[in-house]
Amino acid sequence: MSKQATYTVRVEFGDCDPARIVWFPNFFRWIDAASRHFFIECGVPTWNETEKTLGVIGTPLVDTHARFVKTASYGDTLSIQVSVAEWRDKSFVQRHRVVRHNAAGEADLIMECDEVRIFAGRRADNPEAIRALPIPPEIRRLCE
Amino acid sequence: MSKQATYTVRVEFGDCDPARIVWFPNFFRWIDAASRHFFIECGVPTWNETEKTLGVIGTPLVDTHARFVKTASYGDTLSIQVSVAEWRDKSFVQRHRVVRHNAAGEADLIMECDEVRIFAGRRADNPEAIRALPIPPEIRRLCE
Amino acid sequence: MSKQATYTVRVEFGDCDPARIVWFPNFFRWIDAASRHFFIECGVPTWNETEKTLGVIGTPLVDTHARFVKTASYGDTLSIQVSVAEWRDKSFVQRHRVVRHNAAGEADLIMECDEVRIFAGRRADNPEAIRALPIPPEIRRLCE
Amino acid sequence: MSKQATYTVRVEFGDCDPARIVWFPNFFRWIDAASRHFFIECGVPTWNETEKTLGVIGTPLVDTHARFVKTASYGDTLSIQVSVAEWRDKSFVQRHRVVRHNAAGEADLIMECDEVRIFAGRRADNPEAIRALPIPPEIRRLCE
């Protein structure tokens, strides 16, 4: 397994749609920030810096699977619990559980999402294109 | 199967992140619009109207699975090909293929996404909450 | 003058564009949340509730003027200082100063924005249309 | 004056907020794309290319003033009419009129916005920081 980090989100009026619930692409916006937050909490530097030291410019998604369980609306505070569920050779599975604490203090599951991400570098032959790097051991060590 | 509809997207500068590629939550923004566009193309009225006639306020997601194949960047024009892959009792699977036509006129697959959606109505006991309605036959007929 | 409230924002990777700085529409996203946050801090209920009690469904913008002074990028924490600079008959001017504290603890001004907003209600003849209400004294009292 | 360009926007369900009207930061999203579209229509290459040839990485905002006249909602098609109202030494004023054509074919003004923008380059001493360049005559010529 891995360390765990929690990213907190306030749901705002503008995050909700005419049905008065969170417009779902916003969950992915928050999950992307939570994914990054996990690495920061583990002590990994900004991608700006890792580009110079390790050639890593970010962790783009290759696959994501999300399940929406309960709706959320503005005024809610959500907690996104992030961990790495699996390390593969050139990718990893990051798990996100978005919960809302109810009046009884229990965590209601709002949605959950498993992401497959890679550590991306620029291609030598074409700096506009990216490629998957082997998991940098310096980064993995910080996260375990 | 179902009818097919195509939703066209211009990728803008602001849709891209510091890695110079589309920031992935934007794909879900476009797919949500493509999902809606499919019903418009099939002749289904706005959710504003169906709320009055059928009690349907929209088609919220319950599950989505996306696979990212190639990156896209600003200046690209993307086509999202939408269809309904499966009708269930109280949900349906909407399939989205996001492609970019290359110089040879071929459609390069950028990403693909299978969504499970419901037709949602307001709950009688709590108009702020929603519930899944049986697939409205009036709507299904228009889409097949 | 009025009370003051502060809304805190973490700038995320996805908030930045290919020039590696905050994509400016995101400032307006945050300012809209800060505007709402001001009323919450002053003790005004959610618009959901005020729709029932006062007929107020929100505070849409009628005019906004923003000046961008310094750039911000991901990793930054921004503070938005909000106040009401002027109460008019059917509108008010809300002032937002977005600052970033530097290493010396000083507040660097990133951008500032004066918004003219109204308290909006639904039109009796057309619930889809909105109209400006006189400033509700119950709300103004809470903000001064 | 300058050339004029028109950028077309379909307002989507997710662009609207719980008050069922366009959430205003989305107007700035579209105006930013319209601003870029103007230069494309005038024959200016992508910022990616101008970074290499002219050192121009984009046209960040320094000041924007918007007036909101009528609301818009999902299902609407909006036209953004863009021109350059004034060329200054190191900045220019770009004017945006967002209109919706009504049943009689007349253009109803939804909002209008005057932006002051610069042509930005990277600073020699700090490539993460930007500076205003003199208006590149190659670009101005294409726009007049």
pLDDT digits (tens, 9 = 90+) for B109-138: 999 999 999 999 988 898 777 889 999 999
D49 touches chain A (CB under 8 A): no
Cβ-proximal residues to C103 (8 Å cutoff; 6+ apart), any chain:
none
- A9 in Cβ contact with A30 (< 8 Å): yes
Q: With an 8 Å Cβ cutoff, are A130 and B26 in contact?
A: no
With contacts defined as CB-CB under 8 Å, which chain A residues touch C47? 13
* Residue D120 confidence (pLDDT): 92
Q: What is the pLDDT of residue A137?
A: 96
Which residues in chain A are contacts of B48 at CB distance < 8 A? 18
Considering CB atoms only, which of D20, D29, D46 is closest to B14?
Answer: D29
Residue of D nearest to C17 (CA): D58
DSSP bridge partners of D92: D87, D117
User: Do A58 and C13 count as a contact with CB atoms less than 8 A apart?
Assistant: yes
Q: Do D32 and B12 lie within an 8 Å CB cutoff?
A: yes
Q: CB neighbours (10 Å) of residue D71?
A: 19
Question: Could you give the C-alpha distances from D86 to B98, D64, D114, D116, in angstroms and in order?
Answer: 40, 14, 10, 9
D81, D77, D83: which is closest to D100 by C-alpha? D77
* Residue C26, pLDDT score: 98
Distance (Å) from the C-alpha of residue D27 to the closest C-alpha of chain B?
Answer: 13
Put simply, whether C125 touches B (Cβ < 8 Å) is no
Strand, coil or helix: what is A24? coil
Say which residue the tokens 């307001």 belong to. B122
Task: Provide the chain D residues 77-116 that lie in CB contact (below 8 A) with chain B.
Answer: none
Range among C129-133, D35-39, D103-107, D129-133 with highest mean pLDDT value: D35-39
- A136 lies in which domain range? 4-143
- Nearest CA among D96, D93, D91 for reference residue D37: D96
The Cα C5–Cα C83 span in angstroms is 7
**Closest in C10, C33, C74 to A14, CB measured:** C33
Asked if pLDDT for residue C1 goes beyond 80, the answer is no
Those residues with Cβ within 8 angstroms of residue C138's Cβ, 6 or more apart along the chain or in another chain: C54
Candidates A94, A97, A78; CA nearest to A35 is: A94
What length is written for chain A?
A: 144
Classify C124 as helix, strand or coil: coil
- Calculate Rg over the CA atoms of chain A: 16
| Min Cα separation B2/chain A (Å) | 24
Sign of the CA dihedral running C75, A117, B112, B94:
negative
A76: its two tokens: 């809610």
Q: Compute the distance between CA of residue A16 and CA of residue A9 in angstroms, rounded to an integer.
A: 14
Backbone angles phi, psi at D2, to 5 degrees: -150, 175
Per-residue confidence of chain B (144 residues) as pLDDT tens digits?
Answer: 799 999 999 999 999 998 889 999 999 999 999 999 999 999 999 888 999 999 998 898 999 999 999 999 999 999 999 999 999 999 999 999 999 999 898 999 999 999 999 999 988 898 777 889 999 999 999 999
Which residues are paired to A77 by β-bridges? Answer: A10
The residue of chain B nearest to residue A64, with distances taken between CA atoms, is B66
Residue C80 is which amino acid? Answer: I
Across B63-95, b (16+ Cβ under 10 Å) vs e yields bbbbebeebbbbbbebbbbbbbeeeeeebbbbb
Q: What pLDDT band is residue A132 in, cutting at 50, 70 and 90? A: very high
The per-residue pLDDT for range D87-113, each reduced to its tens digit, is: 999 999 999 999 999 989 899 999 999
From the candidates D17, D32, D76, D125, give the one annotated as an active-site residue.
Answer: D17
Write out the H or E segment, with its range, that includes residue A131. strand A126-133
Residue D37 pLDDT > 90, yes or no? yes
Statement: residue A11 has pLDDT above 90: yes
Cβ–Cβ gap A14/C20 under 8 Å: no
A23 contacts in chain B (CB < 8 Å): 32
Given this model, what pLDDT does residue B47 score?
A: 83
State the Cα–Cα distance between residues C2 and B39, nearest whole angstrom: 48
Picking from A24, A58, A73, the nearest residue to B32 by CB comes out as A24
The total number of structural domains that make up chain B: 1
Q: How confident is the model at residue A130 (pLDDT cuts 50, 70, 90)?
A: confident
Q: What is the mean pLDDT of residues C97-122?
A: 95
| Predicted local confidence at residue A128, as pLDDT | 72
Extract the tokens encoding C140: 């103004």
Closest CA to A97 of A76, A84, A112, A86: A112
Among B13, B32, B46, the residue with its CB nearest the CB of D14 is B32
Closest in D25, D61, D71 to C130, CB measured: D71
pLDDT band of A57, cuts 50, 70, 90: confident
Is there a contact between A60 and B25 if contact means CB atoms under 8 Å apart? no
Tokens 């609306």 sit at which residue? A73
| Residue to test with chain C: of D15, D20, D122, most C Cβ within 10 A | D20
Q: Determine how many CB atoms are found less than 10 A away from the CB of residue A113.
A: 22
Q: Do B48 and D20 touch (CB under 8 A)?
A: yes
Residue type present at position A142: L
Of B57, B65, B67, nearest to A19 by CB-CB distance is B57
Q: Would you call D14 and A25 a contact, using CB atoms and an 8 Å cutoff?
A: yes
Please check whether residue A127 touches C, CB under 8 A. no
For residue C29, the tally of other CB atoms under 10 A from its CB is 22
Mean pLDDT of chain A: 94
Contacts of C130 in chain D (CB under 8 A): 19, 21, 71
The verdict on whether D76 is a catalytic residue reads no
User: Which two structure tokens, joined as six digits, stand for C84?
Assistant: 């009401």
- CA D89-D94-D97 angle, 5° bins: 165
Closest CA to A122 of A29, A42, A47, A45: A47
Please judge whether C63 and D64 are an interchain contact, meaning their C-beta atoms are less than 8 angstroms apart: no
Kindly determine whether residue D71 and residue C26, on different chains, have CB atoms separated by under 8 Å.
Answer: no
Flag whether residue D127 sits within 8 Å of chain C, measured between CB atoms.
Answer: no
* Average pLDDT of span C20-48: 95
Closest CA in chain D for residue A12: D17
Name the residue in chain B with its Cα closest to that of C15: B17
C35: amino acid identity, one letter? S
CATH of the domain at A21: 3.10.129.10
Most confident among B98-107, C117-126, D24-33 (mean pLDDT)? D24-33
| Count of beta carbons in the 10 Å neighbourhood of residue D2 | 18
The angle subtended at Cα D125 by Cα D120 and Cα D127, nearest 5°, is: 50
Token pair for residue A4? 């765990």
Cα A43 off chain centre by: 15
